[in-house]
Amino acid sequence: MTEVVLKQPHTPRITVKDLARQLGMSVSTVSRAFYEDAVIAPKTRARILARAAELGYQPNPLARGLITKSSRIVGIVVSDITNPFYPEVLTRLTGKLQALDLNVMLVVTDPKRSEDETLRVLLSYHPDVVIILATTLSSASSDACRKVGTPVVFFNRYDASQRSYAVTCDNELGGRTVADHLIDLGHRRLAYVAGLPNASTNVDRWKGFHARCLERGVQAPLSSVGQEFSYAAGYAAAHGFLSSDEPPTALFCANDILAIGAMDAARRDFGLSIPDRLSVVGFDDIAMASWPSHDLTTVGQPMELMVERTVDLTLSLSRNDASQPALQRIPGKLVERSTTRAIDGRQ
């Protein structure tokens, strides 16, 4: 006898009503059982919760949101994800948020679709908070959120208007740290392998690096023309620098992937041994950076802390008890590995 598959949209799920009827109580009583601070007899609550667990009932947050005006949805906007740093942030963030019973609705900004369009769909779900993980996103988007009253948290990026919340690594300080490190090692001809030109991470790392060089009385570093945060871009930029008559002796790359690309170019196409002939520093400290074949000196982003702060902030905002918009900058720290060393006579 063959089993007939019913084309049933969704098996009807159990609701408050069902529960109420089964227990011989009113729906409101049942509803109260799911609120910590509702007035309800402990025994009644216990009975309800027991039966609910048994039946696998859970209040529908969508219906609940309609009335409470809180969807418990957190929107996360992501753009390119070629940098492994971001997937990791995304999953950690998601994991921590869901432990707080906040659910993540993910949208990716597709270059083909307009950013506003993308945000519009997200906002139609009325998320309590929107987190922007995208390396670059026009402030128009954050305006869109503000317009409907949805708070925005920028992660490793900030809005020029300073009217949103932001949690970032102290990228400028990171740039300065690298400048100090390389200058301390005796390097004088420095160059910066740039990432996405309008990403604040890129801009700030450069700013700090450049400023610190000048402060230390070192010739201003060169900079490549920013492309993207990719292996290929790093490869190409290194090519540019190393083809010159007086190539730099050290490269600071806007992130680890760029650095790996740059190192490959240096080694393969210029036969330069690293760190003997060229020092290279990255940014992020992704897992790959510590692989023996790279063993890259880099600025470690305080990811765990950044994620925690973002989650805290998101929670406060979802409860509507956050402080004024503010930018939190968390310092990273230099992880010295084997791609940097003191300049010596052989150069």
Site of interaction with a second copy (CB under 8 A) = 5, 7-11, 13, 56, 58-63, 65-66, 69-71, 73, 76, 78, 81-82, 84, 86-88, 90-91, 94-95, 98-99, 101, 103-108, 110, 113, 118, 120-126, 147-150, 231, 235, 260-261, 264, 267-268, 287-288, 291-293, 320-321, 324
CB of 49 to DNA, least distance (A): 12
Contact 280, 254 (CB under 8 A): no
Which phi and psi angles does 6 have, rounded to 5°? -80, 135
Which neighbouring-strand residues pair with 131? Answer: 76, 153
CB of 13 to a second copy, least distance (A): 6
CB of 25 to DNA, least distance (A): 4
CB of 49 to a second copy, least distance (A): 14
Contact 137, 157 (CB under 8 A): yes
Binding test (CB under 7 A) with DNA, winner from 1, 4, 39, 160: 39
Beta strands in the chain (DSSP E): 73-78, 103-108, 129-132, 152-155, 165-169, 190-193, 222-223, 250-253, 279-284, 297-300, 327-330, 333-335
Contact 235, 265 (CB under 8 A): yes
The listed partner (a second copy, DNA, none) that binds 121, CB under 5 to 8 Å by sort, is a second copy
Near DNA by CB under 7 A, which window of 66-74, 92-100, 241-249, 254-262?
Answer: 66-74
Binding test (CB under 7 A) with DNA, winner from 22, 28, 219, 347: 28
The listed partner (DNA, a second copy, none) that binds 91, CB under 5 to 8 Å by sort, is a second copy
Burial 322-345 (b: 16+ CB within 10 A, else e): beebeebebebebeebebbbebee
Binding test (CB under 7 A) with DNA, winner from 34, 51, 108, 139: 34
CB of 212 to a second copy, least distance (A): 31
Burial of 220 (0-12, 13-18, 19+ CB in 10 A): exposed
